[in-house]
Amino acid sequence: MPIHPTAFVAPGATLGEGVTIGPNAVVEAGVVLADGVVLGPNVVVCGNTTIGAETVLHAGVIVGGPPQDLSYAGEDVSVEIGARNILREHVTVHAGTARGKTKTVVGDDCYLMVGVHVGHDCVVGNHVILSNNVLLAGHCHLGDYVLIGGGAAIVQRVRIGAYAFISGLSGVTKDVVPFAYVIGHRGRLDSLNLVGLKRRGFSRESIRTLLAAYGMLFVGDALFRERVARLDAEMGDDPLVRTILDFIEAGRNRPLLQPLPKDHGGAAETDLLEAGV
């Protein structure tokens, strides 16, 4: 087990087979590192933190630090990071809070680039990519395959649905439906994440189904709840559409990001169809 002589591993830490710990790294009591975890130079893993197999933490990463929440009073809180993740230099992941989930969670196969911050009580799904300096405030929830561009900031408690794309430097203040594309300094719903869906192998038929659902939800003069009801009645049996409807239902008391009208630069369904989908 290659542990650099300048590293500190506290009694009470649990290390799996093949763990590598670099120079000046610190592993506190209560930490659990699964098989094949790699900690680079100056990494600090503290508190009740569990890190899954083959996850790699590059230089300067800090995981398990206390939450940046004035309510925190030393309660028993934790971080759980899954398997095969890559956390690049200076990523920070803070523990949960007693009044939240008590746990901050990062799933499997995620890539967190330089300077990413994952705030207390966040839940990050699987296969998520967070580009340089992305900031997640407390209690955010990211679905699987979400991709967020560099410098974007996500306000506390915001939910971002699976396969959504958030463009760089966007500030997101409301929930984002699955499969969506968000752009703008003050993030707005622009269209579907067409490029991402194609790259993930979604069929042409599936994408056209989602386009129709997007148009039904976000284009027209009816009240939003009426559009949701119509979508449920007409397309609710489709599993992809059901993903959107379930997301909306789960957050029915929360604000949902909406597109601008077409004449203000928002993309309507016809624009997307003209893109060759």
Please compute the mean of the pLDDT values over residues 192-212 and round it to a whole number. 97
Calpha distance 89→41 (Å, rounded): 10
Is 87 part of a structural domain of the chain? yes
Closest by CA position to 111, among listed 56, 40, 35 = 56
163 and 178 Cβ atoms separated by less than 8 Å:
yes
pLDDT category of residue 1 using cuts at 50, 70 and 90 = low
pLDDT category of residue 268 using cuts at 50, 70 and 90 = very low
For residue 276, the model assigns a pLDDT of: 52
Residue 231 sits in which domain range?
Answer: 198-274
Calpha distance 243→161 (Å, rounded): 9
pLDDT tens-digit profile of 221-243?
999 999 999 999 999 999 999 99
CATH number of the domain where residue 121 is located: 2.160.10.10
pLDDT tens-digit profile of 72-91?
999 999 999 999 999 999 99
Would residue 238 show up in a list of annotated catalytic residues for this protein?
no
Is 171 part of a structural domain of the chain? no
Count of domains in the chain?
2
pLDDT tens-digit profile of 125-167?
999 999 999 999 999 999 999 999 999 999 999 999 999 999 9
152, 211: one domain: no
Q: In 10 A of CB 76, how many CB atoms?
A: 11
Would residue 120 show up in a list of annotated catalytic residues for this protein?
yes
Would residue 109 show up in a list of annotated catalytic residues for this protein?
no
Is 53 part of a structural domain of the chain? yes
- Of the residues 138, 143, 161, 187, only one is catalytic, namely 138
- Of the residues 120, 127, 139, 141, only one is catalytic, namely 120
